[in-house]
A and B are shown apart, each in its own frame.
Chain A
């Protein structure tokens, strides 16, 4: 009892935090559903509105922008607004700490608003293994609004091996205006069941949205993707690159639609889902789909499900590299086109390291 008490304390929260961010970083801490302004280090140009009167404001702003927002202003979460006075070279961390003992789990509804011309990199991490006795469910709604000319790079990480959740339901809506660009990275490791629903609205000309994802799954982890990419305006570009490596009895379903409105001429879109299965018990379903109503478009899609190439593995073995290291190297090669898209070098390194950790605990079936 004493032990679990102390692990819920501020010390442990701070220790956990320090393992993720340095004091000099910019970070917003969301603790048990509320912004912890004291623990946070919120930079100029970023407004976090979480208290009730601000929530109302948030609701009015967002109700105009999103169909999905309940119009009665009932929002359980935060609005994070990035304004043009933001001066950030480094990414902004948004960290969710949750050590509450709510039996049924928490429902978040978070809004991100990028004002005109704002460029920002945001890293979201969910951390919750703070001495809680029981696993919970997590429902997370995130709505992103990108005004004209704004640019978002987003990285969402689950922490490996430590997922405190039975199931995570992520519902993400991204609405992009003219000339905005969005690169959206998500990484999935071991832990429970994750259902992702992601819908993007390209609602202005020359908007570009790139979705990148890697799943490295062990045990009975399940990660499903349901995606809808709506090209509503001409001259927009979208890309989906979803890669997965599945061991044990993990599984995944990629169910993705690219929709091209009849007005959305000169659409350019790619949709790619590539998977490697390492065990006889893992399973993958891949359904990339196109719904095209315009005639002047370039849309490519494809999916693969395969195994590690035995010829390539033999090649590595013949150079003295063992089966396990060889497989890890080949998988790293398989994932590299997503990794290469991570522009931030430190983050690329971090991500690669996380991959190594998982690949090195991978075991292989003969």
Chain B
């Protein structure tokens, strides 16, 4: 489904990713761990199509097609979703209006009619229940004045509404207390299927206690330096990055 080959990226002429390879098959859950500044968010952003980053070499294929020249909105419509590490505040745009516009755009792309207001509301309510969010949420401005935890939950709420095929969660666990973490993990687990894949970027093992990954990769200085099964994350937790990345 996703195949990244020898990817090299820079921001403001600073090289960040230095030849990264990654392959994700349908239904797989990959965890990417690594120290601060190793390039995790860069990887997520480049897959999503953020043009602040320059791709200097290599390729990203999705469904056997290079997506480097494809706009972010088209990538989203193909089924790629990124949960932002730092979700953007948008004053004056309510959560419900945001979701409605996104869902409508996705449906339009698939040649489907817009959902009726009541069907949309029903779907929103279901997913909000799943994530234990209260309904006052819908009328608030997007992320404005949200706590860290609320922002992250809002990201997973969008994920649940859009049901993407490839979800990239960029440090969705940071800033969540243990209860919120369980709720989010539960939400993600409900969305796992044979078709849907996840890339879970995290600093800590603890999210992986609730979402068990098929593969774990360690990213260091713009490269994947080690890959393995779920045990790798435990080893990392015990021994620290220094030991593993040296």
A residues within 8 Å of B by Cβ? Answer: 309, 311-312, 314-323, 325-326, 329-330, 332-337
How long is the Cα–Cα vector from A315 to B101 in the complex, in angstroms? 13
User: Could you pull out 5 A-B pairs where Cβ atoms are within 8 angstroms?
Assistant: A309-B90, A311-B88, A318-B76, A319-B105, A333-B90
* From B72, B75, B105, residue with most partner A Cβ within 10 Å: B72
Known contacts A317-B73, A318-B49: A330-B84 contact under CB 8 Å: no
- Residues of A near B29 (CB, < 8 A) are none
- Residues of B near A318 (CB, < 8 A) are 48-50, 72-73, 75-76, 81-82, 84
How long is the Cα–Cα vector from A314 to B71 in the complex, in angstroms? 10
The interface size bin for chain B is 20 to 34
How long is the Cα–Cα vector from A309 to B76 in the complex, in angstroms? 20
* Shortest distance from the beta carbon of B94 to any chain A beta carbon, whole Å: 9
Partner of B73, one of A312, A321, A329, A336: A321
How long is the Cα–Cα vector from A333 to B90 in the complex, in angstroms? 7
B residues within 8 Å of A by Cβ? Answer: 48-50, 71-73, 75-77, 81-82, 84, 87-93, 97-98, 101-102, 105-106, 109, 141, 158, 162
Complex contact B73–A322 (CB within 8 A): yes
Complex contact A321–B105 (CB within 8 A): yes
- Residues of A near B87 (CB, < 8 A) are 315
How long is the Cα–Cα vector from A60 to B123 in the complex, in angstroms? 65
CB contacts between A and B, total, < 8 Å: 77
Known contacts A314-B50, A329-B97: A320-B90 contact under CB 8 Å: no
Complex contact B101–A329 (CB within 8 A): yes
- Residues of A near B158 (CB, < 8 A) are 319
Partner of B93, one of A317, A322, A333: A333
Partner of A317, one of B71, B89, B97, B162: B71
How long is the Cα–Cα vector from A329 to B90 in the complex, in angstroms? 10
Residue of B nearest to A310 (CB): B52
* From B77, B105, B162, residue with most partner A Cβ within 10 Å: B105
* Shortest distance from the beta carbon of B63 to any chain A beta carbon, whole Å: 16
* Shortest distance from the beta carbon of A161 to any chain B beta carbon, whole Å: 25
Residue of A nearest to B89 (CB): A312
* Shortest distance from the beta carbon of A254 to any chain B beta carbon, whole Å: 20
Partner of B102, one of A319, A330, A333: A319
Please give 10 more A-B residue pairs, beta carbons under 8 A apart, in addition to A315-B90, A322-B73, A333-B91: A314-B50, A316-B98, A316-B102, A318-B72, A318-B82, A319-B102, A320-B76, A335-B92, A336-B92, A337-B92
